[in-house]
Structure 1
Amino acid sequence: MTRIRDLRRAGRWVLMRAMRVSMSARLIGVLLLAAPLGEVAPALALPAAYSGEAAAPSRSQARLNQRVFDRVWSEVRSSYYDPTLHGVDWNAARARFRPQALAALDERALYRTLNAMLDLLDDGHASASPPAAVRRQEAQFARRAVMGLVLMRGETPDDWTVERIRPGSPAEAAGIRLGWTLKAVDGRPWGPDVETPEGRPLQLVLTDEAGARHETTLTPRVMEAVQPFVADTSRPGVLVLRVEQFDKGLGPWMGGALEGLSPDVAVILDLRGNPGGRLWEAESVLTCFLPRNQAWATRTGRSGRAVVLRASGDCGDRRDPLANPVAVLVDQGSRSAAELTPAAIQEARRGVVVGEKTGGSVLIAQETNLPDGGRLTLSRADFVTAGGIRLEKRGVTPDIAAPRSVAQRRAGDDPTLEAAIAALRAEDRAAADRPIGL
């Protein structure tokens, strides 16, 4: 975020050029924006922590909790991009949170403790993801059982809002609507540690905007894989490239989608709700639009060494940048690579950015596997644009403000997209009216 994506591959550091989106206590919903609910897994018994019984973890669980906590604490101390840890007394943090972690009865209690400690860094990328969330993320673009909900976390760990509903899914059939809040699944508050197994009915409790309670039962079922990249040619003279996240292969795919495009066709990159992904893929996307080797950002790691990032990625067979008019759509859910990309295009005056201000989650992070199957996302480098702007906690301000309300989304209206099309057409008319020097 930056990760650009919230979870790390098995047992190795992601390459320094891999960015990831993080799952801090504030931004944990970002992960689920990219990860619709539902996965084949055994049902979980309700732990004692939620059934009112007094209990303590088994010795083996306490030992595992200790290993997980100590790995997280040590990684922060030795590898965080700011060696001063923003002034946080990390030894005091260990004394405060370690006893809580060792006493945790389940994944939820352990990872809430870990993330409460990581929140001391005031860094949206520093986060720990429980094993269930890791499994869900890794199966994100696979054929699998789903409820069909995409959730965004709010101000508290139990506050989750329905951000999207997959067409044809059990959630749509159950009448769940955008903007509702998911309060409980089978009597337990929703969290990223909850499994949603195929074929087992789930009892959901939601509330609408007015606070009215809605109870429903739905059964996760297998649906075909969601495509991470989609090209939409349904509008005359416009190519809309919808990117769910900056996943492997995005650059070559985009190069192919732009191949042979007529010069009078406008290109719109839709990065709304995109949590980021791989830094290399962001660089590849920019290579499709900026002059090759043009500097677009600088990253600085723990050692203080600065590395200039250039448009030198993989845009398929393209050797020259696209000359067509370009717009980028963003919103509050656009993070990491989905902020770096519009910022670079905006700063280079290569296109217009339309929508809402982005989340401001733009450090370069890597992930580490944890002993229980969870993962730690940790910022390893700072980031500034080619113009020297630090986007962390600042975000990208669009050239044209065009927010999209929940009511408009429910109705299928898209004023953000329409504003981008209008801006590109106005720019095209203005170019046509300019006098030609002889």
Structure 2
Amino acid sequence: MLRFRPALIAFGLIAAGSGLGGCATVAATPDSPAARQALNARVFDTVWSDTQRRYYDPGLHGLDWDASRQTYRPRALEADDADELYAVLRDMLGELKDQHANAQSPASVINRELTRTRRAVLGLSMTPENDGVWKIEDIREGSVADEARLERGWALVAMNGEPWRPDLILTDGVPVILTLRDQTGRLSDLTLTPRVMDPIPLFTTSWANHDTAVLRIEAFEPGLGDWLAATLEQLPPETDLVLDLRGNPGGRLAEAEAVLSCFLPRGQAWAVQRFRGREPEVMQVDGDCGDRDTPFDNDLVVLVGPGSRSAAELTPAALQEAGRAVVIGERTPGVVLISQETRLPDGGKLSLSRADFLTHGGRRLEGNGVVPDIAAPTSLDQRRAGVDPGLDAAIGALRMSAVAGTTMTRR
């Protein structure tokens, strides 16, 4: 199944957008050096050949993929365990400069499946950096990391003196020592004790005022389309809407299409997919929003920011380009290629971009992102103080529209 696959890794948060369900089947640990090397070879060769045959850009962005094989295969075969092997695979795939190209070890796959459960967390979400460290992308309110006043943009250099890995599982009450690098480059050690927290609900509704509903979507996960349709059906007729996609790392393409079906008319073109070896495919709204005969037509604001990725970029871009919504917040990072995951011989997974995306108007969002109609940057200090400039700007824009007696949209 094609889906948006963000590079966001949750460290005791929600790996929203992972799209996994059920239990992973992990191959047994090799019982000899020769068996380890043979398994390493099978995994490496699968990753290398699948990338050569299936990556959306047949030219691999100009890379000499044969030379990459000569460079990385010996290192992969010499790996003593899965951690070392997947570090080599990530180095090789990193040459593509594509955040959707990624190899996850069997342990990482299992850890992703735990992210929707009650468990011990620190409350950090992170993205990988080129130097092997991880940048803090977001901090969960009320978590250990929030109480310790960690900052977005800091780098996690090590945990307990060792490089942090996405497959590490924390234990309630057992302290860990984080080596952090702040924006000035200063290194410091901080001891934090994980504690058990419930997973963040994926979809929630709140009220900014008596006639403005705020729908917070953490990820484009299964059930979103049905939830949105049911929620819209229950809203009072004059309700205006704020769709909050900030910090949303994406998810399933089908759920993005379901969201658009609630706001755009059936048959409207909204994007173009470009696949390898195929003609471009124009995507049109072809679903229904529950039992609605017509799309939801009240004023609509979409909130976005640096943590809005993949489906959380393509969706506001389509609504913005169609003149159906006003986009408010901060520019998104431009990570919108469609990826597909395949199982590797040892139980790990390979994620590769299989298609490029353009808006229906011809804009390429990959590397460019969505530029808001109204800029409303929000600092971590403002969030901690309970100040939300993005939401305030959304409410202000809706109020001005109501006072003027006009519609915010540009249809």
Q: TM-score range by the shorter chain?
A: 0.7 to 0.9
Matched residue, 1:66: 41
Partners in 2 of 1:74 and 1:297 — Cα distance?
Answer: 30
Match 1:346 to one of 320, 323, 329: 320
Q: Could you tell me which residue of structure 1 aligns to residue 4 of structure 2?
A: 20
The residue type equivalent to 2:15 in the other structure is A
Map residues 196-345 of structure 1 onto 2, 5 A cutoff.
196-198=170-172, 200-206=174-180, 211=186, 213-221=188-196, 223-345=197-319
Q: After superposition, what is the alpha-carbon deviation per residue over 1:288-316, rounded to whole angstroms, capped at 9, x for unaligned? A: 10112211112121122222212223522
- Code of the residue aligned with 1:252 in structure 2: it is D
Please tell me whether the aligned partners of residues 183 and 206 of structure 1 are also in contact (alpha carbons under 8 angstroms). yes
Using the aligned pairs only, state the percent identity.
48
Distance 1:276 1:242 in 2: 13
Match of 2:394 in 1: 420
Shift, 1:31, TM fit = 9.1
> Shift of the alpha carbon at 1:432?
5.1
Question: Is contact 1:147-1:171 (8 Å) kept?
Answer: yes
Instruction: Note if contact 2:111-2:167 (Cα within 8 Å) is conserved in structure 1.
Output: no
Q: In the TM superposition, what is the alpha-carbon distance from 1:89 to its structure 2 partner?
A: 1.6
Change (3 A) 1:233 1:213: same
Report deviation, 1:195. 2.6
**1:120 maps to what in 2?**
95
Distance (whole Å) between structure 2 residues aligned to residue 287 and residue 398 of structure 1: 22
Q: 2: distance between equivalents of 1:148 and 1:121?
A: 30
Greater shift after overlay, 124-133 or 401-410?
124-133
Tell me whether 148-157 or 403-412 shows the greater mean CA deviation: 148-157
Corresponding residue for residue 403 of structure 1: 377
State the Cα distance separating 1:136 from its structure 2 match.
2.7
Matched-pair contact (CA < 8 Å) for 1:363–1:383: yes
Q: What SS class does the counterpart of residue 230 from structure 1 fall into?
A: strand
Checking the alignment, whether the CA contact within 8 Å between 2:272 and 2:360 is kept in structure 1 is yes
With the length of structure 1 as denominator, give the TM-score of the two structures.
0.82
Tell me what 2:105 maps to.
Answer: 130
Per-residue deviation, residues 364-392 of structure 1 (Å, max 9, x unmatched)? 11111122222111111121111121111
Read off the aligned partner of 1:139 and give its amino acid letter. L
Which residue does the alignment assign to 2:69? 94
Within 2, Cα distance between the matches of 1:220 and 1:372? 32
1:238 CA drift (Å) = 1.4
User: How far is 1:334 from its partner?
Assistant: 0.9
Q: Matched residue of 2:92: which SS?
A: helix
Q: Distance in 2 between matches of 1:242 and 1:307?
A: 30
Q: Do structure 1's residue 193 and structure 2's residue 167 form an aligned pair?
A: yes
8 Å CA contact 1:370, 1:376 repeated in 2: yes
Q: CA shift at 1:138, angstroms?
A: 2.1
What does residue 360 of structure 1 align with? 334
Write the deviation string for residues 212-247 of structure 1: whole angstroms up to 9, x where unpaired. 6342241443x3232111111253321111111100
User: What amino acid does structure 2 have at the position aligned with 1:213?
Assistant: S
CA RMSD of aligned residues (A): 2.6
Specify which structure has the bigger relative contact order, considering alpha-carbon pairs within 8 angstroms and separated by 6 or more residues: 1
Distance 1:327 1:432, change over 3 A: closer
Letter in 2 for 1:35: A
Q: Which amino acid aligns with 1:318?
A: R
CA contact (8 A) 2:341 2:352 kept: yes
* Cα deviation digits, residues 295-353 of structure 1 (max 9, x gap): 11121211222222122235222231001100111111111100110000000000100
Are the counterparts in 2 of residues 165 and 178 from structure 1 also a CA contact under 8 Å?
Answer: no
**TM superposition shift of 1:63:** 2.2
Give me the TM-score of the superposition, normalised by structure 2.
0.87
Q: Is the 8 A contact 1:251 1:313 kept in 2?
A: no
> Residue deviations 1:62-109, cap 9 Å, x none?
222222111110111111112222222211111111111112234443
Q: Which residue of 2 aligns with 1:430?
A: 404
Aligned length: 391
1:35 to 15, 21, 26: 15
Q: Gaps (5+ residues) in structure 1?
A: 1-13, 37-56
Amino acid at match of 1:402: A
Distance 1:414 1:153 in 2: 27
Q: Which amino acid in the other structure matches residue 73 of structure 1? A: W
Q: What does residue 371 of structure 1 align with?
A: 345
How many Å separate the matches in 2 of 1:304 and 1:402? 40
